[in-house]
Amino acid sequence: MRRGAIRYNRSVAREPMRYENILEVVGRTPLVKLHRVAANCAAEVYAKCDYLNPGGSVKDRIAITMVDEAERQGWLKPGGTIIEGTSGNTGMGLALVAAIRGYRAVFTMADKQSKEKVDALKALGAEVMVCPTAVPPEDPRSYHSVADRLVREIPKAYHPNQYENPANPEAHYRSTGPELWEDSEGRITHFVAGMGTGGTITGVGRYLKEKNPKVRIIGADPVGSILYDYFHNKTIPKAETYKVEGIGEDFLPGALDFSIIDDVRQVSDKESFQWTRRLARLEGIFAGGSAGTAIAAAVQVMPELRPKDFMVVLIPDTGMRYLSKVYSDEWMRDNRYLESPVAWTAEEILAASTGSAATRRELVKAGLSDSVAAALALMQAHDFSQLPVFDGARPAGAIYEDAILNLALAGQNLSNVTVQEVMAAPFPVVQRSATVEQITSLITRECPAVFVELGRDLYEVLTKYDLLHAVARMAGSRHG
């Protein structure tokens, strides 16, 4: 059999997908719609998938722009060394640039960063120095101070210093911002991103506000970082440690321009990590913990959105570097970040099993005066063992295959018997906020499903199977 070429959507390209080197592949990352995470949101919500960059993060963009500028200015010359204090991702980008352009690369990192990040930098030929996290930036042992010292000691050294380098926000002003505008076809109304150096939010925000001053720029900040307090109260509290990597600061970076930010939302480590795992399981987007922070902030904003709104959440880096952290059940359990399935609500289970409101499954039901034969045909077509019966828009009963079988065995002609004559009591009705525990107590051998009341005369059936599916997902997230 002759096989035709497989055409995935992205390969229906505008131009041939052929490049001189890996740096040319940076950027032009896709917007992917979030159906389940935003199941109850009136607006469209998209993820800007910067974890798909070749170095696995948004930072590939600034690595190229900062090195380009340094070469142009003569700060970096052939045989030179690139030195940077980095949470790993900027290091990956710079290591890619160093590999292609023949520079030596030396990175200093805080010891809270994952081992995978250190190993990945070394794989690209870089040298890595791991420094303590629990010291202030001015301490000589901090990764900022060690980077500064190395710059003084190593000849022909260039320190991009992403925190203060104007080429950092500039990269986003020139690439990420225009991509967001073009790929949303000018419809973007809200942009949500975590803030580390602030380069992403500043550059993107500046570009989008030039295009449309009404676009709202929303920062996501981990509890423990000072940026949330500084934005809202102009105070700088004492920074506390937190576990999310790559975002939040204990000082004010020069690359961060608060004047273009409209709002900053605060997110705990636990919420960040839970949303990171949900993002992977519900949407197939396998990202690092800071993506969870941005998603959690977006979820805070979602109830405020209107149907015409168009929100984009930036997904900064790949989950591959966090297998031993957010994606490790042991690590999640040790840090008390795991969620209990008991906390899930009817609405969340429905979202997980049926997708967004737009793709919500059609309720399969019988009417009071339908024949039992017709009800049986429906049940067989959908492989259901029971059907809800409606009197107009209201639930009136339920019909079960056992009852139908008994009728048939008794020699009744199923076409001559109406559903009304054989139906049992309707499924119990629960509110959308009912917990798994409450629903489980209602679902029994005799009553295999409940109705979730979504609005006036609007019901969704939640079966024992849906519940098991949700619990298995949660058990899977704890055990393997």
User: What minimum distance in Å lies between the beta carbon of 184 and ligand PLP?
Assistant: 20
Please report how close the Cβ of residue 262 comes to ligand PLP at its closest, in angstroms.
16
User: For ligand PLP, which is the closer residue by CB, 93 or 397?
Assistant: 93
Token pair belonging to 80? 């030179």
Q: Specify the residue, 128 or 201, whose C-beta has the smaller distance to ligand PLP.
A: 201
Q: How many CB atoms are located within 10 Å of the residue 94 CB? A: 32
What distance in Å separates the CA atoms of residue 454 and residue 279, rounded to the nearest whole number?
24
Backbone angles phi, psi at 209, to 5 degrees: -70, -30
CB of 206 to ligand PLP, least distance (A): 13
Q: Least distance from C-beta 245 to ligand PLP, angstroms?
A: 6
Which is it for strands 386-391 and 216-222: parallel, antiparallel or unpaired?
A: unpaired
Least distance in Å: CB of 76 to ligand PLP?
A: 21
Q: Is 429 helix (H, G, I), strand (E, B) or coil?
A: strand
Asked about 112 being catalytic, the answer comes back as no
Question: How does DSSP classify residue 339?
Answer: P
Instruction: Please name which of 202, 227, 447, 479 lies closest in space to residue 332, comparing C-alpha atoms.
Output: 479
- What is the token pair recorded at 265? 């939302």
CA angle 278, 279, 285 (to 5 degrees): 140
| 160 versus 199: smaller Cβ distance to ligand PLP | 199
Please give the Cα distance from 390 to 68 (Å, whole number). 68
CB of 318 vs ligand PLP, minimal distance in Å: 9
d(CA 271, CA 61): 28
Measured from each CB, the residue nearest to ligand PLP is 246
CA distance 196 to 216: 19
- Residue number, 194 or 341, with CB nearest to ligand PLP: 194
Give 318 or 435: the residue with its C-beta nearer to ligand PLP. Answer: 318
Return the H-helix or E-strand segment holding 104.
Answer: strand 104-110
**Cα–Cα distance for residue pair 96/93, rounded to 1 Å:** 5
Residue 368: closest CA among 404, 401, 392? 392
Catalytic residue among 59, 270, 325, 365: 59
Distances (CA, A) of 213 to 91, 107, 261: 34, 38, 11
* Site for ligand PLP, rule CB under 6 A: 87, 89, 194-201, 245-247, 288, 290, 316-317
* Nearest CB to ligand PLP, comparing residues 276 and 386: 276
The residues annotated with a catalytic role in the active site are 59
